Copies of this chain bind each other. A is one copy, B any other.
Amino acid sequence: MEKLDRQILSLLARDGRMSYTDIGKATGLSTSAAQQRVRKLEQRGVITGYRAMIAGDALGLMLTAFIEVKPFFAEQPDDTPELLSDIEQIVSCYSVAGEANYLLKVQVGSAAELEELLAVIRSKGRVSTHTTVVLSTPYEDRPVV
């Protein structure tokens, strides 16, 4: 990975709407050279997309939790991610080493909704759960580049 590309990634990781003109100015490239490099980073799958970050509380999503899940029937083929993928409160799903098989990050409006969600996950996913409630988030999703 070239230095110039890393620099562009760093800029776009911090401001996903930065213009090619400004990327060019910041890197010493022309607008079109900057645009070409960004396009190639997208095509090569280095940049996988652009997102607006949204404050959950503005949407009434005031409770975040991590849920470790373990299938009841360990011998069967494990399709837990697919079984749970249409539950929109689950924002992330990680397959993990350790006691649990999967770690889910979920976002809900209330404790009552979390209780309901856990029931759905357990029945739908045929899993047992262990939940860790998030009290606050000092920082999240800092750019890695």
> Chain A contact residues (Cβ within 8 angstroms of B): what range?
35 or more
Bound Cα distance A93, B134 (Å): 10
The reply to whether the CB of A28 lies closer than 8 angstroms to some CB of chain B is no
Q: Mark A28-64, 1 if CB is under 8 A from B, else 0.
A: 0000000000000000111111111111101111001
Please list the residues of chain A having a beta carbon within 8 angstroms of any beta carbon in chain B. Answer: 1, 6, 9, 12-17, 44-56, 58-61, 64, 66, 81, 85, 88-98, 100, 103, 107, 132-145
**Min CB gap A86→B, angstroms:** 11
Asked if residues A144 and B81 are in contact (CB atoms below 8 Å), the reply is: no
Closest approach, in angstroms, between the C-beta of A98 and any C-beta of chain B?
Answer: 5
Q: Report the Cα distance A45→B56, complex, angstroms.
A: 10
